[in-house]
Amino acid sequence: MRYCCYLLALLLFLVSCTKNNDVAENNIPLPAVTITDTAYGSDPLRKMDIYLPAGRDEHTVAIVLIHGGGWSDGDKSELTPSVAGVQALFPGYAVVNINYRLAKNGVTNVFPAQEEDVEKAVETITANAENFHISRDLILAGFSAGGHLALLHGYKNDPEKHVKAIVDFFGPTDLTALSDIGTIQALILFNATGKTYDQDSELFIQSSPVNFVTENSPPTIILQGGADELVPASQSVELDSRLEENKVAHELVVYPGEGHGWSGATLADSFEKIKNFIDANVP
């Protein structure tokens, strides 16, 4: 039954693309299109929602949203209410909201499954850019574990340089250091990786974005709560230092009284700073 549903979804998607191709070839502005739960692999969690703007063309950049949840929880539906806000902030941009496999008890879907899924999702988006009538250029935006995945992909797994900027909301940047902060962090990391640092130090090193910053890394804006006890500000400060050393365009925004997430006026300020950073650094 699941296979039949997948085939039906694929058929509807192809029909939609065919109609859009006809419109584009006749120089008629393309209408907005929303495609939900598009599969980018056989696992049920390898799904994404695609929001294509009206009037898009081969210059339209896509913003990829990556949810958090300690690599073992969370869902793209948590960010669905934010899509309209992203569209309002960046009119004319496409938005893609992705799910990825979740680790369980240090046994199932352990890291780097999540890293691989982000890579596969990005590959699917760029491979279908012509069908979507958008550019292959991307902006990655992630929250907590999603911020970590955005950074890791942008710095480590993007040889063709499709990622033009990264928006990191309080994402872990150095798993080696994080594993030594406290019991909660160590348990979260063990659940995600199935290993301790002592058991597999190379896994922690290869999964830490700070270890892959180079002078060619994409512009990065980091948003961090100064009172965050789960992912402390030292994680963002370390990344900021690496970006500074490599002369990468970047900005670190620390909100002294905020913890692991915020809302209201602070969130509005975050959006304003993100908008200004993207406008200044993404052609």
Query: What would the pLDDT profile of 16-48 be if each residue is shown by its tens digit?
Result: 554 455 555 567 999 999 999 999 999 999 999
Place of tokens 């890579």: 119
In this structure, is residue 81 part of a structural domain? yes
pTM: 0.91
CATH code, domain with 96: 3.40.50.1820
In this structure, is residue 220 part of a structural domain? yes
In this structure, is residue 238 part of a structural domain? yes
Please compute the mean of the pLDDT values over residues 253-277 and round it to a whole number.
98
Would you place residue 283 in the very low, low, confident or very high pLDDT band (cuts 50, 70, 90)? confident
Question: Does residue 7 surpass a pLDDT of 60?
Answer: no
Chain-centroid distance, C-alpha 20: 27
In this structure, is residue 24 part of a structural domain? no
In this structure, is residue 11 part of a structural domain? no
In this structure, is residue 157 part of a structural domain? yes
In this structure, is residue 26 part of a structural domain? no
Nearest in space to 68 (alpha carbons), one of 11, 142, 137: 142
Question: Does residue 93 surpass a pLDDT of 90?
Answer: yes
Residue range of the domain that includes 234: 31-281
Question: Does residue 70 surpass a pLDDT of 90?
Answer: yes
Question: Does residue 2 surpass a pLDDT of 80?
Answer: no
Task: Look at the chain and report how many structural domains it folds into.
Answer: 1
The string of pLDDT tens digits covering residues 138-161 is: 999 999 999 999 999 999 999 999
d(Cα 104, Cα 148) in Å, to the nearest integer?
Answer: 18
pLDDT in the model for residue 24: 55
In this structure, is residue 4 part of a structural domain? no
Number of neighbours of residue 275 by Cβ within 10 angstroms? 12
